[in-house]
Amino acid sequence: MFMDYQGNNLRDFLKNNGHVVLQRVNNYNLRSFTKKEIEQITNGYSTLLGKGAFGEVYKGALDDQFLVAVKKYKDGTRKEEFAKEVIVHSQINHKNVVRLYGCCTEENALMIVMEFICNGNLNSMLHCRNANDHVPFPLDKRLDIIIELAEVLSCMHSMYSPVLHGDIKPANILLDENLVPKLSDFGIARLLSTNEAQQTNNIIGSIGYLDPLFNQTGILTPKSDVYSFVVILVEMITRKKVVHGDINLIQNFTNSLRRGKAVRRMFDDEIVDGKKNIKVLEDIAKLAAECLRLENRLRPEMVEVADRLRKCRKDLQPQRRGERTGSSVQLGSPGGYFLPAQLTTPIPVDPSIKNPPTPVLNITLAGLREITRNFSDDTLIGEGSHAKVFLGELKDGRKSAVKKLGQNPVVKNLDGFFSEPDEEFVLQVQTVSRLNHDNVVQLLGYCVDGNVRALIYEYSSRGSLHDILHGTNAAMGTRQGPVLSWTQRVKIALSAALGIEFLHHKTEPCIIHGDIKSSNILLFDNDVANIGDLLVSKNRPGYLDDLILDCVIPSRNGYDAPEYEATGEFTRESDVFSFGVVLLELLTGRISGYSQKSLMIRPMLGT
């Protein structure tokens, strides 16, 4: 059902002058402003930024001179709308949503204090009033903006309590100094519980952007936001107003689509530049046609819309040399290392991966022997059931961790075991080589030479989090290793979380680690944590489904989510569970393991 704040919640608000909203302010660490404070912040409401149906927006500055926008509701009769906006807006913390700082709930002084966005809104940029104000707006920048908008809507629709905006239009999309879009105005947004739709008699929206099915039935769903979003998408590729006199943009657009290539005449002349642009614009037009279907069950979900727009952006980018005919791992031979002859033939590239590759070394077995002093015992820094790790020094002086996999590694699938082709190993290296992030361990090189396979990573001088917390050879339940301060633990947790966030949400396709544990979180100077051991089954290209490198199958050591133990399937959520176990290690200093899981986790959960 909708949380419309009718019934008890709204009565509490009306009776207690904002008790419900004040409770939300406290719960979400928002500031409660007084009417007098708002008057000071806005310098007596001296700078009007805009007006809307519910009120006026003024520019202000906090005590630290941080600029804010203050939305002042017109009168005391808007209490319900005010309560909804604060409560819904407070649920969302996203880089593409205007940040909510606090509110004022005094009688006849209902106000919301938000982040000030300096560059106006998308409507002003698209539809300048005169030629002198016309701003160049290339297709790649338009795609960047619309993709970020699609991503934040996808995020809102995927929340535990999904949020429907209900009034998506260019005037509600603000742009910062870098033209990063920020979604604003949650005045008519809806916060859903478990149901995907709900009927309302209060149909509110903007002409031209309102989902016609919602207008007919009063049933609002996530697909209603999809419709409104795609109206903006059509505006972006045509740079025409959605309603201009008697002209209806969407009606003209759909009529042109029915006539095939006639739709090209509607594209904005500024972005019709060459066959590549036209092809991308036609693909966007096809996507728009699907989203404008009257039957909302036939419209794609917002997450699919975002994926397809990202593909359009990728198609627009210049083709890199060798991208279609060879491996995206750069197979040069700096430092005197050479690629084995059997790997010089072209390797197919997974087209779904977006991130550009980082150059990696291709090192022969002889090269590995040289940098590790023939794998001498004094360079051995780690050992597991499937690999040994040696300290090496590259020709340029960089220290590295050389992970030498067991002889004749195999690939395991449901049918049994068989030898892993070299090409598949290199394709996985290709995927990992694209991960360039401050909190993900960098792959420097690899070796495929006869039966020997090795991965060369940047060296972590401080070792793993497991080493720090428990000692290199810690016994179960002991507290070994140097004591970390609270500040250090928070910094380590945050930087590790940023690395996992990058894998889950900033790569295409999403990368699921599958083996998050304290020994795979490596520490560098200044307590910066990096996620390591990335060559796992979930990182394989799509056409290697059901293959798992036997040398990197995660151990069952107390980090696995219960659903993985039941199904054998990794998900982003199972990574989150594993990271939660790592957080408990940081908090308690105790080591994880099946024999310890109930001792460590259940008391924290109150079970």
Tell me how far apart the alpha carbons of residues 370 and 392 are, in angstroms, rounded to a whole number. Answer: 9
**Hey, how many other C-beta atoms are within 10 angstroms of the C-beta on 325?**
10
The gap from C-alpha 466 to its chain's centroid, in whole angstroms, comes to: 28
Q: Residue ranges for the binding site for ATP? A: 72, 404
Q: Give yes or no for a contact between 469 and 477, defined as CB atoms under 8 angstroms apart.
A: no
Q: Clarify whether 515 is annotated catalytic.
A: yes
HSE-CB of 131 using CA atoms within 13 angstroms: 0
Which string of DSSP letters, residue by residue, matches 250-306?
HHHHHHHHHTGGGGGGGS-GGG--HHHHHHHHHHHHHHHHHHT-SSGGGSPPHHHHH
Q: Which secondary-structure segment (H or E) carries 468?
A: helix 465-470
Helix axes 274-291, 302-316, angle to 10 degrees: 170
For the record, the structure tokens of 184 come out as 């604003």
> Which residues pair with residue 529 across a beta bridge?
523
Which DSSP state fits 359?
A: P
Q: Give yes or no for a contact between 267 and 237, defined as CB atoms under 8 angstroms apart.
A: yes
Task: Write down the residue that tokens 């250090």 correspond to.
Answer: 488
Task: Write down the residue that tokens 């606090």 correspond to.
Answer: 102
Q: Give yes or no for a contact between 168 and 232, defined as CB atoms under 8 angstroms apart.
A: yes
Which of 153, 161, 171 is CA-nearest to residue 227? 153
β-pair type (100-106, 190-191) = unpaired
Q: Among the options 211, 467, 515, 560, which is catalytic?
A: 515
- Position 338, amino acid: F
Contacts (Cβ under 8 Å, ≥6 apart) of 547: 411, 412, 413, 420, 424, 537, 540
HSE-CB of 398 using CA atoms within 13 angstroms: 16
| 14-20-25-26 Cα dihedral, nearest 10 degrees | 130
- Mapping DSSP to helix (H, G, I), strand (E, B) and coil, where does residue 437 land? coil
Tell me how far apart the alpha carbons of residues 233 and 300 are, in angstroms, rounded to a whole number. Answer: 14
Tell me how far apart the alpha carbons of residues 400 and 407 are, in angstroms, rounded to a whole number. Answer: 21
> Which residues pair with residue 362 across a beta bridge?
446
Which of 236, 131, 125, 221 is CA-nearest to residue 171? 125
Contacts (Cβ under 8 Å, ≥6 apart) of 278: 264, 267, 272
Instruction: Give the Cα-Cα-Cα angle 184, 190, 192 (nearest 5 degrees).
Output: 130
N residues, the chain: 607
What is the end-to-end Cα distance of the chain in Å, rounded? 30
Q: Residue ranges for the binding site? A: 72, 404
> Which residues pair with residue 447 across a beta bridge?
454
Task: Give the active site residues.
Answer: 515
